[in-house]
Chain A
Amino acid sequence: MPYFYVSPATLLLVLLMLFPMVMVFKYSLMDGAIMKKDAAFAGVQNYLTIFENPVFWQSVVQTLYFTIMSVVFHFIIGLAFALLLNTNRVDPLIRSILRVLFILPWLFTAVIIAIIWRLLLDPNGVVNSVLMALHIINFKVEWFSSTRTAIHALTFANIWAGYPLYMVSLLAGLQGISKELYEAAGIDGANELEKFWYITIPQLMPIIISIALLDFIWTMQVFPLVWMTTGGGPIYSTEVLSTFTYKLAFSQYEFSLASASAMIILIISMSVTYFYIKHQQRR
C-alpha cells in the first residue's frame, strides 16, 4: 500500500530527474550530442577541453566570489534585521508591519530584480545622482557595463534579493530560544554581548548551517539575474558557471561541451548537498 501512494511522485522524479542526469552524463562523453545523429564516444575529451578554457576558470572564480559574498552578506543582513525585529523595545504593531516590508525583496522574480537594479544603477539613475550629490563619486559610474564594477553591482543586487530567507528563518529560530537561558546567564552576570555570543549564536547554529548550505548551492546556480543584468559581460567579467554553460549550449550549440560543464556544476552541488543532508539528519 505505501508503494501505491509514493509511486506517482517517484516515477515522475525518476523520469524527469534521474533519467535526464544519466543523459547529460552520456552527452558529456560524446562528440556532438543532440546536433549529430551518430554522435561518437569521445571519452573525457569534453572535460579536458573545458578545463583548458581560461573563461571556465574565470567563471569559477567569479562564481565563488559572487556566491561567498552573497552568503556572507545575506547572513549578516538577515541576522541584523532578525535581531532588530525581535527586540521588545519597539511597538509590536510597528514590528509586524516592518517584518512584512522587510520580506518583500524575496517575492520578486529574478527578472524583475534585474530590471529594478538596472533602473536604479543606470548611469543616469537615482543611485548615481544621490552619490554625486553627496560627493562620493564625481562621474556617472556605469555600474553594470564597466568591467571593474559589474560583478560587484551584480552581487549587490543578489544580496538585496536574498537576505529575507535568512531573516525569516533566524527570526523563527530566535523565537524558539528559551527565555530561561537568558535569565540564567543574567543571574551569572553575563552582559548583552556575552549572552549574544554564548547563547544566541550557538542556539541558532543549526539553522545557520542549513540555510547557508542551501543558499550556497542555490546562489552558485543563479542564472536569470546574471542573464538579465549583464549577460556575463562586459568581456566575461561577470561570467558565472551557469551563464558559461548556457552559452555553450544555446548560443554555440556545443551540447557535449555544455553537458561536461553542467556535470561539473552538478558534482559541486551534490557534494555540498551531501553535507546538507547529513546535517539535516543529525538535527
Chain B
Amino acid sequence: MAKRSFKSSVLPTILTYLGLGIGLVFSAFPIVWMFFSSLKSNTEIFALPPRLFPQDFTVAAYLTIFNDPVKVRFFINSYFVAGVVTCLTLVVAIVTAYGFSRYQFRFKNTLNIFIISTQTVPPITLLIPYFGMVVAFRIFDTYLALILTYMVFTLPYAVLLMTGYLNTLPKELDEAVLVDGGSSWTALWRVIVPVSIPGIVATGVYTFLLAWNEFLFALTLTKSMDLRTVPIGIQLLMGQHAFEWNEMMAMSVLGSLPLLVLYLVAQRYFLAGMTAGSVKS
C-alpha cells in the first residue's frame, strides 16, 4: 500500500520538479550567463575553469558604453524610433479597429484576410522594393524610412489586437452617445478609448517590442552612425577585429532592459500580444 501511494503521488511530484528544474536551467542559464559576463573583465570571459560569478566584479563595460556618445546615440535612436512607431501605430490601429468592430461593410472580410496575410509577408521580399523606393523618394538613411517601413509590420498586429479588444465592449456604450446627438467619432474618443486602456496598453507594448527588435530594415535602410539602432550597434561591435565580449554583453543587457521592464510590469498585456495569432480571440 505504501509503495503504491509512493508511485501514484510522490514519484510524479519529484519528476515534475525535476522537469521544471531542467526547464529553468535551459531557459534562464544563457541569460544569467550573459548578465554576469557583462560584469567581468574581457580577459576573464573565457577563464578556465569557467566561473559564473565574476572574480573581479567590474562595471567598466557599462561605463565605456555610457561614455561613448556614438553608443549612447544607438539607444536614443532605438527609443525614439520605437516610441514614434508605437504612437502612430496606436492611433491608426484604434481608428481602424473601431471601423472593423462597429460596422458591417462590403469587402470587410476581404480586408480582414488581407490584414491577416500581411503578417506573414517575408520582410526580405519587401526590403528590395523598399530600398528602391527609399532611394527614389530621397529618404534613404532617415528616421522616416525606418518609421514608415516599421509600421507595415506593426500595424497588422495592432489592428487585429485592437479589433479583438473592441469586440468585447458592448455596443450600448457608443449608442448612448449617438442617442444624445453625438457622432461616432465623438463616441470613439470620448467613450470607447477611455474604457479600452487595457487593450491599448497590450497593443502598445507589443508594438514597441516589434519595433525595438527590428534588424533587417535598420541594417539596410540606414547608413550613418547617427541613425543606427541598438541591434545594429551590437552588430557593429561584433564586426570589430578584437571582440570586446564584456562590452557586447553589456550592450545586450541594456538593449534588453526596456523589454524586460515592460514584461515584468505588464506581463498580462504582453502575453495578449504574443498569443494573438494562435489562441482564438
Contacts and interface: CB of A to CB of B under 8 A. Distances in A.
Contact of A214 (B45, B212, B277): B277
Contacts of B113: 277
Contact of B117 (A6, A220, A277): A277
Contacts of B215: 109-111, 223-224, 227
Contacts of B213: 109-110
B120 A273 contact: yes
Interface of B: 12-13, 16-17, 19-20, 23-24, 26-28, 30-31, 33-34, 37, 45-46, 48-50, 92-93, 95-96, 98-100, 102-105, 108, 111, 113-133, 135, 148-149, 151-152, 155-156, 159, 184, 209, 212-213, 215-216, 220, 231, 234-235, 238, 245, 248-249, 252, 255-256, 259-260, 263-264, 267, 271, 274-275, 277-280
Interface stretch (A44-52, A53-61, A100-108, A141-149): A100-108
A244 B120 CA distance: 19
Contact of B46 (A23, A125, A214, A273): A125
B95 A5 contact: yes
A6 B111 contact: yes
A76 interface: no
B45 A119 contact: yes
A98 B17 CA distance: 11
B143 to A, nearest CB: 16
Interface residues of A, number: 97
A280 B122 CA distance: 20
Contacts of B216: 223-224, 246
Contacts of B130: 20
Contacts, number: 270
A27 B127 CA distance: 13
A12 B88 CA distance: 12
8 contacts: A2-B104, A6-B100, A9-B115, A20-B129, A84-B20, A89-B13, A100-B264, A112-B252
B115 to A, nearest CB: 7
Given A5-B95, A112-B252, A168 B123 contact: no
Interface string A253-283: 0010011001101100110110011001001
A65 interface: no
Contacts of B271: 103, 168, 172
A6 B16 contact: no
Interface string A189-221: 000000000000000001100110010011011
A150 to B, nearest CB: 16
A270 B117 contact: yes
Closest 7 A-B residue pairs measured CB to CB?
A5-B99, A2-B103, A20-B129, A109-B213, A23-B129, A9-B96, A224-B215
B117 A12 contact: no
Contacts of A106: 274
Contacts of A242: 122, 124
Nearest to B280: A283
Interface string A77-94: 100110011010110001
A234 interface: no
Given A87-B16, A119-B37, A262-B125, A112 B256 contact: yes
Interface string A1-12: 111111011101
Contacts of A245: 124
Given A13-B156, A217-B120, A255-B128, 5 more contacts: A12-B151, A27-B128, A101-B27, A133-B49, A262-B128
A101 B24 contact: yes
A168 B271 CA distance: 7
Most buried by A among B115, B128, B259, B279: B128
Contact of A250 (B26, B30, B184, B220): B220
Given A16-B148, A100-B264, A265-B125, A122 B46 contact: yes
Interface in A66-81: 77, 80-81
B214 to A, nearest CB: 8
A17 interface: yes
A112 B234 contact: yes
Given A104-B31, A224-B215, A80 B50 contact: no
Nearest to A176: B279
B89 to A, nearest CB: 10
A13 B95 CA distance: 15
Contacts of B119: 214
Contact of A160 (B26, B118, B120, B277): B26
Given A129-B50, A277-B116, A16 B128 contact: no
A173 B271 CA distance: 13
A84 B128 contact: no
A34 to B, nearest CB: 5
Contacts of B135: 34
Contacts of A116: 30-31, 33-34, 252
Contact of A207 (B28, B49, B279): B279
Interface in A224-263: 224, 227-228, 242, 245-246, 249-250, 255, 258-259, 262-263
B99 A17 contact: no
